[in-house]
Structure 1
């Protein structure tokens, strides 16, 4: 097991370097000049050229890439052109909100998706199976921005049950406030996160439910299940301890992949619900051609995605010994 962990960690190093190179290369082909955006349309070509020299935009691409690597190794992600603050400071100020929303959506998607998949598998061919898979197909087909608007219209505008925009207190702070006798803070935080989390969780919940159903049906046909029934074990115990435990192995990998997708989907969801995370920051940085900030955000998303998949690989090896023996 230790050797497997070391191999995975060593593979993460060239992967991280590759992500830095790809991120840098993508920004080279983005149209628009940050110096022109910063100085405005009335600026003279000479002023724009002087600012480009000051920002290092006229340096050769390989020199800029090397300088960026050196900065990253020293813990510096650069300076935002428009906000005139360290990129790392800006991202850290918004990262917590995005991770909070993505984790909440992933928890909802996992619980709902696994429950729907299990129920659909054990009631295969019934009306329950048909209804469950209909909602799963609906979740896959509906765009996140459209579902966000529908949820906002229904629960915020028409019913007035939940707020439509903004964020309450961070969930860790809200939980502590509830423990210390202020449950209203927790409710306010949960009420703000519920709608964007539901909108963001619909597609992964549908995918997880369909995969769980397929995996459960395969496990139910295995010989060890018939053996368990022949030993006189009750059906709930067979389903939970034998079938579901083995059926969740492929689902575990998908959950890790979907977390990375949730980070990308959060850009749209955060914009619709005015959630103060990296999504809004990304749109603002792109509109301003703030290259260092865009570079830092994209790299942050990529590193989180890679780290989550690394954790999933390690968990998969813990659950299934055949992985680390291969």
Structure 2
């Protein structure tokens, strides 16, 4: 078996263990929340027969070990359970509807972050100590410091109430325009991190021997910077983007709520309010799985784009 295949198998096994641990933790935490979920859903004055029916649907009439076994069975058959208010619909059906909206928002946020951070980071490195560098560092500091739960409402007030440049979230308008403000809100912190990462990586590469050699051979400055230096400087940025993409999926929960967008965030918050165990477990499991898979893919891509990185077991 090749070293690369061994490495992939080890990472896959590790990823499965992490997902299993997360799913187990969610199962325990959801049931450790104080209060009776049946009374929370139906109310204290509900019909006892209705309460018993809902308790059986939520499997609360069974021992915890039996509940966990049924939960693992639902995970294994990929249904993740059925909804008590509509048994014909599985949790997976709800997730399949919600996940594309969240993934699209995360992708647009990454594109926004890359378009802003890479040019800004490169210019800051080339003009180290100058006004552009100071501006880039200031913008990066502000981007990291401003929380999304504050930025989102401020953007809404400015661009939908005063300037009327974008449709109101409650208007039902869909399309690219409805994605811009949520993507800016979600991607600002990432763009700040990538700006600082690009600047630091670019400064390190510009001082490397091969860059000085390229200059001494008479290559044009633009060729040296964008063909040789930037390509190598972006290698660590690839890792950060991959790691942060998984985090964006969980960060989208707040943003989707602020902008009234459909997606995993809206589904998860609604499930928490309804005390829908199965939907909460399904949402967290999908987010954790996406996070682990993206991290695994990032590690594999990193070993391809940078031949200097050796896999476990390499002897060269």
TM-score by length of 2: 0.90
| Aligned mates of 2:70, 2:17 — CA distance in 1 | 18
2:126 to 107, 110, 122: 122
Match of 2:75 in 1: 72
Match of 1:180 in 2: none
Q: 1:37-69: CA deviations, max 9, x gaps?
A: 222121377864564245311423222222211
Match of 2:192 in 1: 206
Change (3 A) 1:168 1:51: closer
What SS class does the counterpart of residue 59 from structure 1 fall into? coil
Match of 1:317 in 2: 303
Match of 2:251 in 1: 265
| Aligned mates of 2:299, 2:264 — CA distance in 1 | 26
Contact 2:143 2:191 in 1 (8 A): yes
Match of 2:112 in 1: 108
Match of 1:289 in 2: 275
After alignment, is 311-320 or 3-12 more displaced?
3-12
Change (3 A) 1:16 1:217: same
Change (3 A) 1:322 1:32: farther
What SS class does the counterpart of residue 79 from structure 2 fall into? coil
| Aligned mates of 1:4, 1:241 — CA distance in 2 | 31
1:19 to 14, 18, 22: 22
Contact 2:54 2:84 in 1 (8 A): no
Q: 1:137-158: CA deviations, max 9, x gaps?
A: 1110101021111111121111
Contact 1:32 1:289 in 2 (8 A): no
Contact 2:303 2:310 in 1 (8 A): yes
Contact 1:135 1:206 in 2 (8 A): yes
TM-score by length of 1: 0.88
| Aligned mates of 1:54, 1:293 — CA distance in 2 | 13
Structure 2 unpaired stretches of 5+: none
Change (3 A) 1:54 1:144: closer
Match of 1:134 in 2: 138
RMSD value over aligned CA atoms? 2.0
Contact 2:81 2:90 in 1 (8 A): yes
The aligned length equals 307
- Equivalent residue runs for 1:171-186 within 5 Å: none
| Aligned mates of 1:211, 1:251 — CA distance in 2 | 7
Q: 1:113-133: CA deviations, max 9, x gaps?
A: 122111111111110111111
Alpha-carbon offset, residue 70 of structure 1: 1.6
Q: 1:8-32: CA deviations, max 9, x gaps?
A: 3333332332232222222232233
Q: Is residue 143 from structure 1 mapped to residue 147 from structure 2 by the alignment?
A: yes
| Aligned mates of 2:211, 2:69 — CA distance in 1 | 57
Structure 1 unpaired stretches of 5+: 170-188
Q: Is residue 249 from structure 1 mapped to residue 235 from structure 2 by the alignment?
A: yes
Contact 2:58 2:277 in 1 (8 A): no
Q: 1:239-287: CA deviations, max 9, x gaps?
A: 1222222221221111112112211221111111111112112111111
1:97 to 98, 101, 106: 101
